[in-house]
Amino acid sequence: MKPRLRQALRNRWLTLAVRILLGLVFIAAALPKIGDPPAFAKAIWAYQLVPGRLLNPMALALPWLELVCGLALVLGIWVRAAGVWIAALLLSFTLALSVNLGRRHPVDCGCFGATAHRTEAERLADMRWSVLRDAGLLLLCAQLLLASAAPRKP
């Protein structure tokens, strides 16, 4: 990467904005799920990717992981560690959505809590948007990880 581009990506204000935006998105996503774990378990189940035994532990722990990491980003504590988690979560969400898009199995995203009843076509369209959104968030996350990396010795 060119040093100038690298410098621009590591801009202090850009990093601050990205950090707070990502953090807020994850806090907003976590709260409804923490409030209603059974609804989230149902949402995960609909994806048909997680074995039944892991369903409830995931539905219980995942929202708290999102909240903890989101708070860490907003407060600026352990930014790199939280960024790694958020990147991993975003990657797995994107993968889960893509697999179900691939098999044309419409699922409720469940990203920000349960949504109202929708038709299958609406759901598939929503899923495509969600994949795009997750890809965008992943780009933000990449910036964060780049900026929080220890400066390379010249």
Partner 1 sequence: MLHDSRSTSIRILALAGLALLAALLSNRLASPARRLAWAGSAVPLSPASPGPAATPRPEGIRPEPVAQEPGKGPLPHSAPSRKSPPPASIATPIPEPPSSSPVREVSRDEAWEAFQAGTPFLDARRGAEFAEGHVAGAWSTPVWEADLEDRLLSFKAARRPGSEDPIVIYCSGGDCRDSHLLAERLLRDGYFHLLVFRDGYPAWVAQGHPIEKGRP
Note the residues at the interface with partner 1 (CB under 8 A): 34-39, 41-42, 45-46, 48, 52-53, 55-57, 59-61, 63-65, 67-69, 72, 78, 80-82, 84-85, 117, 120, 150
SS3 for 132?
Answer: helix
**What's the min distance (Å) between Cβ of 61 and partner 1?**
5
Q: Angle at Cα 27 formed by Cα 120 and Cα 13, nearest 5°?
A: 115
> Which CB, 4 or 103, lies closer to partner 1?
103
**What's the min distance (Å) between Cβ of 45 and partner 1?**
6
**What's the min distance (Å) between Cβ of 105 and partner 1?**
9
Residue 43 · residue 108 · CB < 8 Å: yes
> Which CB, 69 or 140, lies closer to partner 1?
69
> Which CB, 57 or 136, lies closer to partner 1?
57
Beta bridge partners of 111: 113
> Which CB, 10 or 42, lies closer to partner 1?
42
Contacts 24+ apart (CB under 8 A), 114-119: 114/32, 114/36, 114/39, 114/40, 114/42, 114/43
